Amino acid sequence: MRLSAHLDTDTDTRLVCTCGCGMGTRLEHWRPELLELFEAVRAHLGQPVYIVSGWRCPRHNGLVAVSEHSQHAIGAALDCQCPKMNFADFADATEFTARTSSKGQAGVGTYPHHQFVHIDLGLGKNPGRRWTP
3-state secondary structure 35-102: HHHHHHHHHHHCCCCEEEECCCCHHHHHHHCCCCCCHHHHCCEEEEECCCCCHHHHHHHHHHHHHHHC
pLDDT per residue over 14-66, tens digit each?
Answer: 999 999 999 999 999 999 999 999 999 999 999 999 999 999 998 998 888 77
Q: What is the pTM of this model?
A: 0.95
Determine the residue type at 76. A
CATH code assigned to 2-131: 3.30.1380.10
Residues in the chain: 133
Measure the CA–CA gap between 94 and 52, rounded to whole angstroms: 15
